[in-house]
Amino acid sequence: MTERQRLPRWSVRSRILASILAVTALGMLVAGGTAYLVARDRALADVDARLETRVNAARFVVTGEGAADVSAPAPPGYATAAEALEAVLARVIPGTNESSVGIVDGRAQFIPGVALPFTLDSDRAFLDRVVGEATDDRPRIGTMLGPSGALRYVSVPIVLEGSSQQALYVTAIDLDAQLDQVNAAFALFTVVALVSLVVIGLVGWFVAGRLLRPIRQLRAAASRITATDRKERIPVEGRDDVSELTRTVNDMLDRLDDALESQRQLLDDVRHELRTPLTIVRGHLELLDPADPRDVEQTRAIAIDELDRMSGLVDGIESLAVSERELLDLAPLDVGELTRSVHAKAAVLPGHAWELGPVASGTLQADGEKLTQAWLQLVDNAAKYAPEGTPVELGSYVSGPEVVLYVSDRGPGVPVEAQGRIFERFGRVEQSRGVRGSGLGLSIVRAIAEGHGGRVGLDSSPGGSTFSIVLPLGLST
């Protein structure tokens, strides 16, 4: 087993759905992550802003200067730093998820007189850290991970002239609790996003299955179609790209069916046409008397004549196949020049008076070589079947949106019942017209006419026949 065969087989439906879910999940992740980070940064900025207001409030309580968030007026003065610190803790009330502590000479001495979500006075590591950072009179802000979680804190030294005490006002906000609302919103977004992905997956699975159903039907039909059963077609539903693909495939199957049918018909016709000369040659060879020179000469002449006829059949089949298969080399073609050129070539043929009829004017988009071949085939047909010495007319004229190239003879005409058959492969009217042919000439004419988007025409009576090639004007002028 090869590496390619060992790989898991993913259907187009699964790959489309996986791509949709991956892109959707990535978009949700980017959008949700960006929103979460923005909300988190805003929440952290609000924490720092609150800590800044605590610094200003403590300064106002102690000195009466700066903005304050307390309603009582500043006291006239304090005897010690501890007294000022006690006043700060009494008047600056901690907010939500916030706790405060007053430290005097390295020991937690004061706490607010309100219920606190967590305490700082019993956290020795935290107290040691803020005391160790207080090396001057400037406030310090920082973050610490302790038993109560992540704390964002600010420490404000309380300094009074004449007081030797080292007083420190510390307030901290629980970051985890402060971010709970943001985290809860992101958790809700995650749940909604997962549910949305599930819904998108279910809807996408059914929609992709419906859209790809014609392709599955195409695969099933292709597996069932054989050379002996080619009639099945795929139902067309809707007017989208997949429906157009279905129509295109059905058209392709129709063309393949026509090609196979044409091939089968050709083989049947060839088998039928070759059976007679082969039987004649075989019969004369079986009855040949080698000792009779005259019999040998007659058998030889018959065999050569039949072989020549078979060779003509092969050449005609090849010409027909080329006419049906080769692409046309379309170019602007002057209809009048084409008419006069074909008449000049026909005029040298013996046995008839070749007359030039009306000559159309204008330009036609066509393959000049192929049209000349088809028109001369009609000329050759008239030369064979029209009585010797009778006039034959060829010409061209415009009829509405079409141009007609014709050859008109004064022969015995074509019976009505045979007029449709003579344009088919090996279609002949030997008894009525009296000349033996391969029966492929008019088939070649029809193939060339249809290749140009046109058709062949026949108007026949006992007084003569007019064969024509009728082409749409198209881009002609």
Same domain, 246 and 384: no
Domain of 265 in residue numbering reads as: 242-324
Q: What is the pLDDT of residue 396?
A: 92
Instruction: At 286, list the tokens.
Output: 């079986």
Question: 182, 205, 222 — which closes off a domain?
Answer: 182
Same domain, 317 and 352: no
Same domain, 295 and 367: no
Residue 294, pLDDT > 80, answer: yes
298-351 tens-digit pLDDT: 888 877 877 776 776 666 565 555 555 556 778 888 899 999 989 988 888 888
Q: What is the pLDDT of residue 311?
A: 72
Question: 300, 324, 348 — which closes off a domain?
Answer: 324
pLDDT bin (cut points 50, 70, 90) of residue 244 is: confident
Question: In a 3-state reduction of DSSP, which class is residue 192?
Answer: helix
Which residues fall within 8 angstroms of residue 164, CB to CB, at 6 or more apart? none
In whole numbers, what is the pLDDT of the chain averaged over residues?
A: 80
> Which CATH number covers residue 468?
3.30.565.10
**More confident call, 319 vs 230:** 230
Instruction: At 134, list the tokens.
Output: 């207080």
Q: What is the pLDDT of residue 369?
A: 86
Residue 436, pLDDT > 80, answer: no
Same domain, 105 and 138: yes
Q: What is the pLDDT of residue 98?
A: 92
Tell whether 218 is covered by a domain: no
Residue 73, pLDDT > 50, answer: no
Tell whether 57 is covered by a domain: yes
Q: What is the pLDDT of residue 435?
A: 43
Tell whether 318 is covered by a domain: yes
Instruction: Select from 281, 280, 277 the least CA-distant residue to 309.
Output: 277
The beta-carbon contacts of 236-240 under 8 Å, at least 24 apart in sequence, are 240/211
Distance between CA atoms of residues 78 and 101, nearest Å: 19
pLDDT bin (cut points 50, 70, 90) of residue 476 is: very low
163-187 tens-digit pLDDT: 778 889 999 999 998 899 899 999 9
Tell whether 211 is covered by a domain: no
pLDDT bin (cut points 50, 70, 90) of residue 425 is: low
Distance between CA atoms of residues 100 and 119, nearest Å: 8
- H helices present in 239-358, as ranges: 241-286, 293-325, 335-346
Residue 29, pLDDT > 90, answer: yes
**What is the mean predicted confidence (pLDDT) over 145-173?**
86
